[in-house]
Structure formats: C-alpha cells, structure tokens
Amino acid sequence: MVDFQAFLEKLYWKYRDVNEGKVASYIPELAKANSDSFAICAVTRDGRVFQAGDVDQKFTIQSISKVFVYGLALEEHGRERLLQKVGVEPTGDPFNSLIRLDEDSKRPDNPMVNAGAIATTSLIKGDGPTERLNRLLTLFQRYVGHEVFIDVPVFVSERSTGHRNRAMAHLMLNFGMIDQKVDEALDLYFQQCAILVTCRDLAVMAATLANQGENPLTGEQALHPEYVRDVLSIMYTCGMYNFAGEWAYRVGIPAKSGVSGGILAVVPNQVGIAVFSPLLDGHGNSVRGLRVFEELSQEFGLHLMDLSMGRCRFEAAIRDSSELTAS
Ligand code: DON
C-alpha cells in the first residue's frame, strides 16, 4: 500500500529539477523569486500534516486571496446582492483581461478574474481603509491560525505598476459596479494580494475549506458553513485561470492558483493540499504544481467525478502514514 508521506517526498524529488516555465515578472518585485523553491503540503480535515520541501518559505498569496475575500463578501452581503455585482461564469480569458467587461451586463464575470476580485474587495465593509484592511487581515488569520503580514515592497511594486487593474476599476466605477472610492478599493486589493503565506499556511487554509469552514488546527470558524459550497464551486469552475476546464477534467478538485507560484486545492471532507513553486506556465499556473496535483489525483483517486474508488485509496494511504509534523 502507498504511504502518503513517502509519496509526497517521492513527488518532491521527482519534480524538483523540472525547470520549465518562468517566474512572474509583470509585478517587478515578484521577478526576484527563487525559481528553485518547491514545497508540497497536505493537511487533513482532522489536522494531520504531511509535507515535503520548503514548506515554511514565505511568499505573497496573490490571486489565491480572491477565494477567501469572496467568502467574506458572501457572509457580509449574501448570495443575491453579491450576484448583482459579480457573476459566477468562467470566462476562458486570461485573468487580467478587460475585453468582456464592456460587453452586455457590465458586471465582471466571476470573482477569480481581476475585475471580479476588485469589485468583490470593494464591497468589504468597514469604516475607512484601515478598518477594512484589518478586517481582511483578521480573516486570513482565522484561516491560517496565526498573525499575517503584508510584504510592503510587493504591495508598493504592484500599486505603482498595476495600470490594467486601475483601468478595470475605473471602468467598473463608470458602470456603477464599484461604489467605494476606487483608489481605496485598489489599494485594498493590492494589499490582500501581498499578504505573506507559506505552503503550509495554504494547506491549512485549504483544509479549513475541506472542513466546512472550520480551521482543523485551531477549531476556529473562518467561513460560515453555508457559504463553503459557493466558494468551492467558483474554485472548481474558475480557479485555474483559462486552464480551469482542463484542470477540472484532469485533476478534478476545486483549486486556486496565484502568480507567485502557489496552488491550493480542496478535497471536500477530506484534505487540503498546497504546492508552491514559482515557475509558471503561459496561463500563470505553477508548472511543478500542475504535475504534482495531476499525479496525486491519479494515484489516490481524488477526482470528484471519479467514484470508482470512493476515496478509499487516499484514506488507506494516510491511515498508517507517519506524518512529518511541522512546528
Ligand atoms: O492583480 C494582479 O495581477 C495580482 N495581484 C494577482 C495576480 C494573480 O495571482 C493572478 N490573478 N488571477
């Protein structure tokens, strides 16, 4: 029988020397990332931790933040009001595309593309920018189980170069999709993208979603259980940029990636898994991350549409596996 921890280590060594892809450079500060960094971590819904590689290395969360801010917006506004401002339809376009925004409804298609994420962030409640930022930091703290900080150089770098995001935000202001002051909304969006996390943090966040919104390590409720299905559905259909369909077909679990090289994925009621490697393919997804997830899904029958094994192979693999407990 396959031992889960041993399998993660095997994947780490197998893909460690894959050097295809490029580190993101459109945010100048991200170009400084170490392309050798590589980590894999899994946290089960009962809090067991399995890991390999640089699981404690910090990097900015980037687009993965969109998932969690969307969850907060759902709690604050409810489904119906949020749907009026941000749709739930995959675009098939790159995440920073402006093309569809000027068509038909003037409403961003979904909260995982930049336009939809900026609109979602602009809805976060709070009396002024500091209170709204604190609200977001507290949210992420509930998911990771410890204090979180912003990488200020990355925030400043994106703030001074994010002209496409500014263009989208102003277009949405023109359409009445953003109510709040547009520069404040953009600053908050750039700040949420610059929150520092580790691969282990991402796995805990994913495990929290796998565990109906309750952080399995702290017992804290990070998201109301009523909204977990909304968040997971959007991740499944829109989480991997314009590769989302292929990901759903090949890997088959809700996931979200970010341009600093993280991918987080959720097997509902079972496990949260994260991979970090900054080398990205043309869609903006981590090259090593895609390979690791494809292999994990295949080996343990994690694909949600594949009921032939009923997840038992995964359960068996973790049952007797010695976890490498992180500090
Ligand atoms: O808006 C941006 O370009 C970045 N802060 C986030 C990009 C990212 O990770 C991919 N976006 N879906």
Residues enclosing ligand 1, CB less than 6 A? 62-63, 95-96, 114, 158, 165, 193, 258-259, 284
Would you say 272 and 48 are in contact if contact means Cβ atoms under 8 Å apart?
no
CA 208 / ligand 1 centre spacing (Å):
23
Whether 9 and 83 map to the same domain: the answer is: no
Residue 4 has pLDDT above 80, yes or no: yes
d(CA 42, CA 200) in angstroms, rounded, equals: 8
**Domain match, 168 and 284 both:** no
Q: Per residue in 118-137, pLDDT tens? A: 999 999 999 999 999 999 99
- Does 42 lie in the same domain as 127? no
DSSP string across 142-180: HHHSS---B-HHHHHHHHHH-HHHHHHHHHHHHHT---S
Residue 40: C-alpha distances to residues 2, 56, 198, 255, 297 (Å): 17, 10, 10, 15, 14
For the cut 70, the answer to whether the pLDDT of residue 16 exceeds it is yes
What range does the domain containing 10 cover? Answer: 4-59+198-219+235-326
- Residue 327's pLDDT is what? 36
- In this prediction, residues 169-186 reach a mean pLDDT of 91
Question: What are 228-277's pLDDT values in tens digits?
Answer: 999 999 999 999 988 999 999 999 999 999 999 999 999 999 999 999 99
First to last CA, the chain: 28
Same-domain pairing of 320 and 209: yes
111, two tokens: 């909260």
What distance in angstroms lies between residue 216's CA and the mean position of ligand 1's atoms? 28
Whether residues 211 and 174 fall in one domain: no
Tell me, yes or no, whether 184 and 268 share the same domain.
no
Residues of the chain with pLDDT > 70, as a percent, come to: 98
Domain count, the chain: 2
Counting residues of the chain whose pLDDT is more than 90, the rounded percentage is 84
Q: Classify residue 131: in a domain, yes or no.
A: yes
267 residue type, one letter: V
Query: Quick check: 325 pLDDT over 70?
Result: no
> Does a structural domain hold residue 293?
yes
pLDDT > 60? residue 326: no
pTM metric for this prediction? 0.96
What is the per-residue pLDDT across 33-63, written as a single tens digit (0 to 9) for each? 999 999 999 999 999 999 999 999 999 999 9
